């Protein structure tokens, strides 16, 4: 069976023989057609393409692959069913039918929050997750085409780094607004109006209505759901985003030209957290805030009175784990005190609960936390904070080490747990034999070793489902590779594989010759980030030569 036939075949094949590149190409092609139909205003064509995608073998296979291979693949719903075998996954594809589908209620668990309260999390059954993933494939291209340009939460290719970069762009200059409305929606996921969702979300209304009214099970009791989208569902972030989309357009219509006049209004949103800049506290309080309240009320939502406030940029405000504040007219973005405190509390708890663990194992627990936190803040003013965190971690580890050997001298403890590496004399490190008998060194990472690299914000109109933006996203991917340690190592392997020469003109690629990298099979067409799927080329090679040897996929 060839790739095209296999990708479209409803049955008669095995899970391991599915051509995933062909499947992803088929899904990608339908999503691109949905984007084009939305741009042309052909709503009936959009519905037809959505129907085609949600009833295709490729869409169903891709949805099952997503939910059966992600981090939650072993977490069952109320039916205690998981798909861990190829046979179960293939059967799941055949079970994703619209006719006769009845979603099971969600299994509810409570997740503790920083303020001592809890956040409800709904865990759908595997089949419900797959159905949500399937319909999200058809809904996401619409959401990406019609969404607010400055919304960055739960969207492909966008991140908190893009959100804070936009904040810098609208607040850093002397002529920018000095007052900020910090908005937070109270229980956003739990309170969205079902009637509004059914009336306004462009997807299969019958399926959506079944999901919204499926209810949840908590402590072996079934509870109905009258509002909200369940936190934990794959499609829930997309539904919440589409609910809040239109906020920018509403404000622009209510206050025309406010962006360019003395009112200086701008909006930046990440999921249900947002900021709105303005010329004065009174204008934001008396005109903008009522407009936002009215917009949210139509959707069954209200602003949180505790977290919604108006702040002067000279006093600063916290947003997404950062503190944004102007010091003598200069905007600095730093890790917030709350974020730093949460990190140190987590590290302290890890060290405290592992008092007798081996040093190598403790390093293995601490390194991912430190590395992830430092990478998150690697594009803001964080060098001083990194040094402070390293100092605090050293104190925790020193107490941990001294406690283990109360009868040993401080010199002995230092020599046992802290090594000399180059100019550094207090490196928390050890050497142990691995399973194959070889010696391996384990060293705690320092947050201060993380380089500060400015993040380049994504273009507001960029759409990952629109083929017109493929080259832009490919370029962004290449730049990320160059700023990543692992990425640079991978590119070096590609350079060696090509003999140090351009894949187009076969002339040497050196530091003095501008060059770039690209995927042989594009990510959107099923390609991977593996070195075998990468190639390096000169930027100045003629375009027809550059792409002469690239597969047309």
pLDDT at 545: 43
pLDDT at 473: 87
Q: What is the pTM of this model?
A: 0.86
30, 40, 303, 470, 547 from 523: Cα distances, Å: 16, 26, 39, 9, 16
- For the chain of 553 residues, list the mean pLDDT of each consecutive stretch of 10: 46 80 92 96 96 96 92 85 91 92 88 74 90 96 96 93 96 93 90 94 94 87 83 88 95 85 89 93 95 96 92 95 95 96 96 94 95 95 96 96 94 93 90 80 93 92 93 81 68 78 78 72 73 77 46 36
| Domains of the chain as residue ranges with CATH | 1-145+197-225 (no CATH), 148-191+231-334 (3.30.70.270), 336-447 (no CATH), 465-536 (no CATH)
Q: CA 328, CA 550: separation in Å to the nearest integer? A: 53
DSSP string, 394-425: HHHHHHHHHHH-TTS-HHHHHHHHEEEETTEE
Q: CA 53, CA 134: separation in Å to the nearest integer? A: 8
> Half-sphere exposure of residue 413, counting CA atoms within 13 Å on the CB side?
14
In the three-class reduction of DSSP (H, G, I as helix; E, B as strand; rest coil), residue 33 is classed as helix
> What backbone torsions phi and psi does residue 412 show, to the nearest 5 degrees?
-65, -40
Q: CA 51, CA 48: separation in Å to the nearest integer? A: 5
Q: CA 500, CA 40: separation in Å to the nearest integer? A: 45
> What backbone torsions phi and psi does residue 175 show, to the nearest 5 degrees?
-85, -5
pLDDT at 4: 43
């Amino acid at each position: 069976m060839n790739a095209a036939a296999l990708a479209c075949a409803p049955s008669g094949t095995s899970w391991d023989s599915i051509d995933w590149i062909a499947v992803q190409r088929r899904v990608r092609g339908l999503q691109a057609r949905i984007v084009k139909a939305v741009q042309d205003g052909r709503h009936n064509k959009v519905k037809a393409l959505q129907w085609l995608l949600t009833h295709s073998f490729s869409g169903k296979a891709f949805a099952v692959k997503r939910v059966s291979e992600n981090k939650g693949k072993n977490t069952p719903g109320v039916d205690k069913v998981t798909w861990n075998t190829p046979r179960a996954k293939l059967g799941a594809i055949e079970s994703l039918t619209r006719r006769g589908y009845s979603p099971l209620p969600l299994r509810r668990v409570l997740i503790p929050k920083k303020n001592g309260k809890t956040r409800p999390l709904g865990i759908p059954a595997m089949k419900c997750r797959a159905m949500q993933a399937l319909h999200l494939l058809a809904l996401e291209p619409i959401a990406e085409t019609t969404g607010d340009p400055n919304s960055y939460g739960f969207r492909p290719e966008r991140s908190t780094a893009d959100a804070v970069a936009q904040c810098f762009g609208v607040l850093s200059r002397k002529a920018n607004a000095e007052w900020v409305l910090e908005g937070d929606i109270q229980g956003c996921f739990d309170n969205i109006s079902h009637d509004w969702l059914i009336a306004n979300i462009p997807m299969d209304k019958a399926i959506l209505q079944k999901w919204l009214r499926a209810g949840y099970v908590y402590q072996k009791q079934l509870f109905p759901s009258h509002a909200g989208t369940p936190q934990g569902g794959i499609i829930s972030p997309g539904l919440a985003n589409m609910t809040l989309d239109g906020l920018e357009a509403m404000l622009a219509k209510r206050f025309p030209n406010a962006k360019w006049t003395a009112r200086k209004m701008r909006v930046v949103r990440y999921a249900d957290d947002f900021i709105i800049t303005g010329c004065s506290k009174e204008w934001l309080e008396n005109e903008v805030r009522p407009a936002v309240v009215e917009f949210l009320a139509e959707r069954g939502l209200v602003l949180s009175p505790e977290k919604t406030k108006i702040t002067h940029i000279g006093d600063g405000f916290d947003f997404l784990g950062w503190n944004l504040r102007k010091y003598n007219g200069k905007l600095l973005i730093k890790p917030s005190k709350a974020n730093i405190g949460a990190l140190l509390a987590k590290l302290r708890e890890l060290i405290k609960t592992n008092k007798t663990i081996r040093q190598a194992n403790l390093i293995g627990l601490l390194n991912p936390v430190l590395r992830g936190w430092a990478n998150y803040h690697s594009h803001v003013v964080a060098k001083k904070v990194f040094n402070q965190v390293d100092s605090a971690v050293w104190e925790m580890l020193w107490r941990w080490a001294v406690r283990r050997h109360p009868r040993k001298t401080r010199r002995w403890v230092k020599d046992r747990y802290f090594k000399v590496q180059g100019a550094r004399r207090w490196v928390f490190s050890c050497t142990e034999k691995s399973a194959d008998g070889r010696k391996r060194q384990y060293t705690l990472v320092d947050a201060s070793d993380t380089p500060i690299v400015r993040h380049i914000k994504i273009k507001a109109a960029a759409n990952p489902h629109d083929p017109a933006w493929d080259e832009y996203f490919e370029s962004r991917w290449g730049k990320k590779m160059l700023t990543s340690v692992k990425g640079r190592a991978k590119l070096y392997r590609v350079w060696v594989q090509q003999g140090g020469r351009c894949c187009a003109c076969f002339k040497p690629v050196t530091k003095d010759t501008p060059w770039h990298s690209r995927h042989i099979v594009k990510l959107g067409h099923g390609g991977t980030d593996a070195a075998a799927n990468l190639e390096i080329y000169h930027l100045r090679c003629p375009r027809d030569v550059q792409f002469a040897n690239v597969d047309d996929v």
